[in-house]
Amino acid sequence: MHRASRRFFTFAAYASLAASMLASGACSDTSNPSDPPPPPGGEEDAQADGGKPERDGSTPPKHDGSTPPLPDGAAPVADGHPFGSHGFPYAPGVIVPSDSQTARDDATAQFYDAWKKKYLIKDCGPDRYYIATTLDGSGGGQGDTSITVSEGMGYGMLAAALMEGHDPDARKIFDGLYLFFRDHPSSNSPDLMAWNQVKGCGNNPTDGSDSATDGDLDIAYALVLASHHWPSGPIDYAAEARKVIAAVKTHDVNPKTKLVTLGDWAGPDDEEHYYGTRPSDFMTDHFRAFGRVTQSSDWDAVVDAHYSLVATMQGSWSKETGLLPDFISDTNTSAPKPARADFLEGGNDGNYAWNSCRVPWRLGTDFVVSGEARAKSALTALNAWVRKATGNSPGKIDAGYLLNGTPTTASIENALAFVAPFGVSAMVDASNQAWLDAIWKLIVSRGVNDDNYFGNSIKLLTMIVMSGNWWAP
C-alpha cells in the first residue's frame, strides 16, 4: 500500500520549534539533569583511557548468540555490559572523545536522566510506558492526536537496555515499553509493532496499523541486549527477540534483494516501494547480532547487500561527498537511484535529509563493534566532505543537503539530528580526533530543551556510542 508521509516532523515544524527556542532564549537546559529523576509512577575505554584488547574486526564480539546448556538447577548468568563497565572492547582503530572516561560517562548519564524525565510516559495500561514523540511539537506520527511511534519505542527500549547499570529502574522501564509494544501489534504480523499510536492508546486508524522497519529493528536488537542483562524472569527476552527477528526476516527484508524494506506493508503488489529502501535503516550491527542469535548465515547476505548498495550509490551519485539519500529506488536493477520527490514523505526524499541524517551513526556503530572495513570506507568519504564543507566547525552543519553537498533551501544549522551522528562516523579514524572532540563539546553543551524528541533521542544514543558504552551481544 502507498502511504502518506511517515516522517516524525516536517521541516516547517522543526523551523517553527527552532525559531521559538531562539525567541525565548532557550539556549540551555533549565532543568538540573544531575538531579535524580522522580521514580516512575506506578514470528519465530578500555578506550582512550586504558588498554584495549586487540581484536580482529571480522571476529564477532563476545557472544555467538547461542545459549550453552546449563547444569540441572543452574540459573542463567547475566553477561551483558552495564553502563559504565566498559567491558566490551571497541574495534582496533576506534577513537573516542578526548574527555576522560568519567567525564564522558557523567555527561551521558546526565543527559539520559533529563531525556527520560521529559519523554518517558507511564500510561495506557498497568505498568505500561511509551516515549512521547510529540511532546515538544516536533511531530511523530500522523495527525494532531498522535502520541508515539514505533521508532521512538525502539529508541526507548535501546536506551533502557544500554543504561542498565546507571538507572536502577532500567528493567522496569524496559518491560513497560515492551508491554506497550506487545499491546500494539502490526496488522501484518503479531511480532512487529504498529507504527503509530494516538490519544486513547489505540493505533492510528488512518494508516497507522502496520509496521515501520526502523522501529522493528531497534526493538529486536533491544530485546537481544535485554536477554543478556536479565536472562531469567517473567519475560523470556531471548525467545521474544527470536520471534521479532523472525518476523523482521519474513516481513521487512526483501527476499530477492536482501535489503530491508520500508515496513511490513511494502509488498510485491507495490513494486515501486517494494524495491525501495531507506539508508537510515541500514543497521548492519543489528543484522550481525540477529545472525548470531539465530545462528543463521542468512544475515551475512543481508549485511553484504547493504554495503554493496552503499558503495554503488556513493560511486554513482555522491563520489565527492559520500552522502546517501533518504530513500533509494530501483534496488532490483543494476542502476539503483535516489528516490523521486514525494516517493514516500516529501520533496527531499532523494536528498540527504531527516532520515539519512542517521546514516553516519548507524554505519559508524557497525565499525565500532565489528571493525567492518566497508563501513570505514563509506564513512571516510563522508567525514572528509563534512569537515571540508564546515571548515571543521560542527556548528556549521546544515539540516539537509543535495547529494552534491549543496545545502537544501532554508536549511537549519545545528540540528542535533544532523550534528550528533557525525560524531560516531568520526570515530573510525584517528585523523578525526579534533573534529570528534568539537562535535562532542557542542552536543554536550546542548540541553534537553534546546531540541526536540528526534534530535534529543539521536543525541542520547550517539552519546552512548561515543562515551564507550555501546556493546554488541
Q: What amino acid positions are annotated as catalytic residues?
A: 151, 214
What one-letter code names the amino acid at 262? L
Residues 6+ apart with CB under 8 A from 42: 122, 126, 127
Kindly report the length of the chain: 473
Which residue's C-alpha cell is 524525565? Answer: 117
Nearest to 163 by CA among 99, 217, 229, 237: 229
CB 427 within 8 A of CB 95: yes
Q: Is 101 helix (H, G, I), strand (E, B) or coil?
A: helix
| Other Cβ atoms within 10 Å of 52 Cβ, number | 17
Amino acid at 96: V
CB 179 within 8 A of CB 226: no
Distance from CA of residue 110 to its chain's centroid? Answer: 20
Q: Which residue has the cell 517473567?
A: 234
The residue with cell 529506488 is 329
Strand partners, 337: 329
Rg (CA), the chain: 20
**β-pair type (146-149, 129-131):** unpaired
**Helices 237-251 and 284-294, axial angle in degrees (round to 10):** 120
User: Residue 443 corresponds to which cell in the numbers above?
Assistant: 552536543
Residue of 467, 471, 406 lying closest to 102 (CA atoms): 467
Of 207, 188, 190, 200, give the one whose Cα is nearest residue 141: 207
106: how many CB neighbours lie within 10 A of its CB? 17
